Structure 1
Amino acid sequence: MRRLLLVTCSALGLLALLPVNGALAVELPVRKAGLWEMKVLSGGSVPEMTMQQCTDETTDKDMSTAMSPVAKEICSKQDIQKTATGYVTDSVCGVAGMTIKSKAEINGDFNSAYTVKTSSHTEGGMGGAPRDSSSTIEAKWIGACKSDQKPGDIMMPGGMKMNINDMQKLKALIPKQPAK
């Protein structure tokens, strides 16, 4: 259960990094095509998680476009700024009765490696008590996608494989947040 929660929070964290079309003057660059390894490091007792994603230019652009409506629906704030060393994002999103305020610092070149350091504050949800957390995603390009992979494939721990292009289907599963 704890691992599923980490995967869900990581997915939400990655979602918070996606630009909302039309709302941001700055967009993150497209990653180099091929196979990217992403290590998610969280503090505390949650173990490190490593996943791989096969991508190409179209998939990276489509991911932003496809997820933008979802982010627009669940996030009341989505800011991104270019800095001297990378990017900084600031977002407030709500899902499943939780409000997640997060800030991320993104550094790297998107051709060989990048790092995302995220801090977040969560309120509401099943636990009820406010919770602060931080995580780091270390991503590195490891080469061409494997022969049995197609752009958008994400290989999760334990051998689970999903395709980011199917994520749009998950939009229907995210409960709508009541207007505040």
Structure 2
Amino acid sequence: MSPLRRSCIRSLPLLLASVTAAHAIDLPTRKAGLWELKMVRPGSAIDEVAMQHCTDEATDKKMTSSFQPMANEACSKQDTQKTPTGYVTDSVCNIAGMSTTSRAEITGDFNAAYSVKVTSHQDNPLPGVPKDATMTLDAKWLGPCKDGQRPGDIVMPGGIKMNIADIEKLKALMPKSK
């Protein structure tokens, strides 16, 4: 398995925490167009992963409705509060037998740029995965989607492309929690 793929798999609990935080309560939808998303995980095999996401209001709402049931199933706690600078979510999730306690802090706006900082602790991490981790997701609006892109298209490292409409495929990859 490539280091990039291992890094992405190890990032799933943190990424789920950031998506859960972003959609656990009604937040504004992101401005339609192309967003650059940079996921930074200091100390991991690949410190930074960048991707682009073409979105619109319907796509953001679909992400909410697709990820929230998965988060509800995997997470025994999802407490989101509005703060003076954004939102904060405290969660406890069990994914693939890994119990993860996370705090996600969202700052910025959904028209130009926002940031999600997730700190987490895993009680029983996979070998080689630290018990404590930090991940930051920085999102920046780039402008209209590129020619040929449709809302939901995500371009990942290595040119791998998928569409969020194919979320059922992603759900099938997620291990069922016990």
TM-score bin (small chain): 0.7 to 0.9
Query: In structure 1, the residue corresponding to 2:126 is in which secondary structure?
Result: coil
Native 8 Å contact 1:19 1:28 kept in 2: no
More divergent stretch after superposition (149-158 vs 42-51): 42-51
Query: In structure 2, the residue corresponding to 1:60 is in which secondary structure?
Result: helix
More divergent stretch after superposition (163-172 vs 51-60): 163-172
Query: Deviation at 1:47?
Result: 2.4
Identity over aligned residues, as a percent?
A: 55
Query: Deviation at 1:64?
Result: 0.3
Q: Is the alpha carbon distance of 1:100 and 1:84 closer, same or farther for their aligned partners in structure 2, counting shifts above 3 Å? A: same
Q: Aligned residue for 1:90?
A: 90
Q: Which amino acid aligns with 2:26?
A: E
Q: Aligned residue for 2:68?
A: 68
Q: Is the alpha carbon distance of 1:145 and 1:12 closer, same or farther for their aligned partners in structure 2, counting shifts above 3 Å? A: farther
Q: Which amino acid aligns with 1:6?
A: S
Distance in 1 between residues matched to 2:52 and 2:76, nearest whole Å: 30
Q: Which runs of 5+ in 1 are unaligned?
A: none
Query: In structure 2, the residue corresponding to 1:119 is in which secondary structure?
Result: strand
Query: Deviation at 1:101?
Result: 1.2
Native 8 Å contact 2:24 2:68 kept in 1: no
RMSD: 2.2
Q: Which runs of 5+ in 2 are unaligned?
A: none
Moved over 2 A (4+): 8-20, 24-28, 123-126, 168-178
Instruction: With the length of structure 2 as denominator, give the TM-score of the two structures.
Output: 0.88
Tell me the number of residue pairs that the alignment of Structure 1 and Structure 2 aligns: 175
Distance in 1 between residues matched to 2:175 and 2:167, nearest whole Å: 15
Q: Aligned residue for 1:127?
A: 127
